[in-house]
């Protein structure tokens, strides 16, 4: 494993198309493995570009101010508030307790895991995504999952500190490291990276918690709105 800490090198690595999140092997449609292999996050090349364009269009439909109000009015713990507010903003059905529980199971297995309950959770969620296109349904679940834990962590850190979301992102960002795998031989700064090498990027101290380059997170404004809305709610 190679660890990269210098800002110039981290930005170079994040912009390198040869360094990607660990690709996922697929499984039967509707399984957890299939979901990981079908979302934009774990794709690369033209497939990633196509799926990312869909995700960006999906997020562009969301009214940021309305999302903030939805987060302020949502019930439950921080992860539940994030999920329910974002689902409403995406014009998805109201998430009941079973749907929230399913999303949390999927979130726990999103980066790997063999929990059989995750397959059942994906199958429960797919019909709620309001599209007949399985790929679009998978990426809608992906939008919810990728907002869940990181945004809840941001809310918790802001609540424990200044309650200023922007200041918290600078001082205690929820994402401290990103991992990439080399799919072709490449270089980061003066370091050669062979095929298959894991690269650990320390993004938190550099203010790059939302990434950089072609994979920069398109949901930064939405994450801030969710966090600010949740912090407005009376405890």
Mean per-residue pLDDT for 203-232?
Answer: 96
CA pair distance 205, 230, nearest whole angstrom: 25
What percentage of the chain exceeds 90 in pLDDT?
Answer: 96
Is it the case that residue 233 has pLDDT exceeding 80? no
Total structural domains within the chain: 1
Residue 19: phi and psi, rounded to 5, are -115, 115
Confidence category of residue 57, pLDDT binned at 50, 70, 90: very high
How large is the greatest C-alpha to C-alpha distance in the chain, in angstroms?
52
Q: Is residue 195 part of a domain?
A: no
What is the b/e burial string over 97-114, where b = at least 16 CB atoms within 10 angstroms of the residue's CB?
Answer: eebbebbbbbbbbbeeee
CA 114, chain centre distance (Å) = 20
CB 186, CB 4: distance < 8 Å: no
pLDDT digits (tens, 9 = 90+) for 36-50: 999 999 999 999 999
Mean pLDDT of the chain: 96
- Going along the chain, which residue ranges are E strands? 2-4, 19-20, 177-182, 186-188, 191-193, 198-202
Q: Is residue 6 part of a domain?
A: no
Mean per-residue pLDDT for 218-228?
Answer: 97
Q: Is residue 10 part of a domain?
A: no
Q: 126 lies in which domain range?
A: 25-171+217-232
CB 136, CB 112: distance < 8 Å: no
CA pair distance 23, 25, nearest whole angstrom: 7
* CA neighbor of 174 nearest in space, from 190, 160, 194: 160
Q: Is residue 181 part of a domain?
A: no
CA pair distance 179, 200, nearest whole angstrom: 5
Q: Is residue 9 part of a domain?
A: no
Residue with tokens 């990027």: 201
**Confidence (pLDDT) at 113:** 81
SS3 97: helix
**Confidence (pLDDT) at 114:** 82
Is it the case that residue 61 has pLDDT exceeding 90? yes
Rounded alpha-carbon distances, angstroms, from residue 191 to 61, 117, 158, 179, 198: 41, 41, 36, 16, 13
**Confidence (pLDDT) at 235:** 55
| DSSP letter (8 states) at residue 25 | P
* CA neighbor of 69 nearest in space, from 85, 47, 50, 93: 85
**Confidence (pLDDT) at 48:** 95
pLDDT digits (tens, 9 = 90+) for 123-145: 999 999 999 999 999 999 999 99
Q: Is residue 155 part of a domain?
A: yes
**Confidence (pLDDT) at 234:** 61
What percentage of the chain exceeds 70 in pLDDT?
Answer: 99
CB 65, CB 222: distance < 8 Å: no
């Amino acid at each position: 494993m190679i660890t990269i800490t210098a800002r110039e090198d981290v930005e170079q690595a994040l912009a390198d198309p040869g360094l990607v999140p660990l690709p996922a092997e697929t499984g039967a449609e509707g399984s957890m493995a299939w979901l990981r292999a079908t979302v934009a996050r774990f794709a690369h090349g033209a497939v990633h570009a196509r799926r990312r364009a869909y995700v960006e269009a999906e997020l562009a439909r969301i009214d940021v101010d309305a999302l903030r109000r939805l987060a302020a009015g949502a019930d439950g713990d921080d992860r539940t508030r994030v999920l329910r507010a974002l689902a409403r903003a995406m014009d998805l059905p109201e998430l009941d307790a079973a749907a929230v529980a399913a999303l949390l199971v999927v979130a726990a297995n999103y980066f790997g895991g063999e929990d059989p309950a995750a397959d059942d959770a994906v199958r429960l969620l797919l019909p709620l995504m309001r599209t007949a296109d399985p790929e679009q349904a998978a990426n809608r679940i992906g939008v919810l999952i990728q907002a869940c834990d990181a945004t809840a962590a941001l809310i918790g850190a802001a609540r424990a500190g200044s309650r200023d979301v922007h200041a918290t992102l600078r001082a205690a960002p929820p994402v401290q490291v990103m991992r990439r795998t080399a799919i072709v031989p490449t270089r980061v700064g003066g370091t050669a990276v062979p095929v298959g090498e894991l690269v650990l990027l320390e993004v938190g101290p550099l203010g790059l918690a939302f990434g950089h380059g072609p994979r920069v997170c398109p949901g930064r404004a939405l994450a801030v709105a969710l966090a600010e809305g949740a912090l407005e709610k009376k405890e």
